[in-house]
Amino acid sequence: MIKLGSIFQFIKKYLPVYLLVNFSGNPIITHQDYSNALLIGYTVSFLIYILFIIDVQTLRKSIGIITGVIGLIIVIVFFQQRILGLVSYPGILGYILRILLTLATLLHLKHEKVDFLDVYIKTLAFIVVISFPFWILNQFGFYGFDTGSSIRRSLIFYTSFEYQFNLRLTGSPIIRNSGVFWEPGAFAGYLILAIVFIAFKNRKFQVGPYKKETFFLLVGLLTSQSTTGYITFMLILVIHSMQTYNMGKIVIIPLMIFVIGLSYLNLNFLREKIDKELTDTEQMSSNDISSGRFGALKMDLQYIKSQPIIGNGWHVSTRYRFHPQVKNINIGHGNGMSNIIVIWGIPFFIFWLICTYRFARQVSQSAITASAGVFIIILLLQGEQFLYYPVFLAFFFLPFVYENIMSVESKLYIIKSYFYSK
């Protein structure tokens, strides 16, 4: 018989991370009229709870960390106001709240001695499992609650897409799996991040004891049919071969490159999408707008050159001041890295990047694994606006909060992974 205490411990361990993931792009939570009120209510309540359970030493350290991150944002906003003359305070407040929600979640896990990476990996595997029957159902119909979009509805645990739109967009009769997120590419990005976390925990790109979770993550990735997801996974396979097989550099790597090339030629949705984006980018003028990865990057370079240090801010009037036509349309910006640099400036992004690498190096204890993992994370940013959301904002705090966060089962995992690698 299941004990009530065990259920309560399970909820305390997994629910905060599951909610953090949902606040990172589930449209029923993040794309509604009530989304801001929900974010404020949940974040403030969580912070009050944290203040009651946290010890004084951790509180002092946390204040120092959050002061550094938010202090940097305040300095940037001050200069944006002085130089650009306009800032979006609601947008900035929402961003700060997402940062605070991230820190609150990590502090809760630290208090409970729960490994964030372990819970995140298992949470994403769970999302794949629970989304699968809804994804199959989506092949036969378009169901769910209204999300404010004519092509997308939410079943809370799965985001459903309209069949004819998918057919026009991809040419495929198969609806792509979005999990709980706003689109399949986002789902693929979070799945790839889970695979990278497995590599960090194993200290190299190997499955280790996470065989079951890896299987589900790959099923989710395969059904997402994401261009970025497929490309980054192919890169992961190459890194895995180099780190695992003695003859990897001589035999496995050329073979993997051949397989990747063959996949590119035979996967129509992959080849056609990349070729179209490259062609459209080449034909762009400085006044043109684009929602593609490469086109958005080309478009953003104007803004980065204009304000490389302080960025161009959240407000549409300053963010897109060289493209005033954007004020009246939603272009669906396609490059998350260049977009965040345009908004906050190069120093802000470099600070996040340093924190990300520091954490990767700290956990993996391998410069090669850490560098490869960070490179893959950067590739993920080329496709989606992940740095808008709490999961990717966690890297600001993970190097400082993750230490001493591991539970007994996580320490046993390290011992198990050592024997798996032998």
What pTM was computed for the model?
0.88
Cα 404 to chain centroid, rounded: 24
pLDDT, one tens digit per residue, over 218-271 is: 999 999 988 889 889 988 988 888 888 776 556 666 766 666 665 555 555 555
Place of tokens 């400082």: 400
Structural contact between residues 127 and 180, judged by C-beta atoms closer than 8 angstroms:
yes
Place of tokens 């999408």: 273
Amino acid symbol at 409: E
Structural contact between residues 374 and 353, judged by C-beta atoms closer than 8 angstroms:
yes
List of residues 6+ apart from 120 with CB closer than 8 A: 17, 21, 193, 194, 197, 391
- Element at 171 (helix H, strand E): none
pLDDT at 393: 97
Alpha helices in 205-335 (DSSP H): 211-224, 227-244, 253-266, 268-282, 293-306, 316-319
User: Along the 422 residues of the chain, how does pLDDT read in single tens digits?
Assistant: 456 667 778 888 899 999 999 999 999 999 899 999 999 999 999 999 999 988 878 888 888 889 999 999 999 999 999 999 889 999 999 999 999 999 999 999 998 889 999 999 999 999 999 999 999 999 888 888 988 888 889 999 999 988 666 665 555 677 899 999 999 999 999 999 999 999 999 999 999 899 999 999 999 999 998 888 988 998 898 888 888 877 655 666 676 666 666 555 555 555 555 555 556 555 565 566 666 677 778 888 889 999 999 999 988 889 888 878 776 666 666 688 989 999 999 999 999 999 999 999 999 999 999 999 999 999 999 888 999 999 999 999 999 887 644 444 455 555 455 445 54
Structural contact between residues 389 and 180, judged by C-beta atoms closer than 8 angstroms:
no
pLDDT, one tens digit per residue, over 123-156 is: 999 999 999 999 999 988 888 898 888 888 999 9
Q: Determine the Cα–Cα distance for residues 255 and 93; give it in Å rounded to an integer.
A: 50
* Phi (first) and psi of residue 210, to 5 degrees: -90, 40
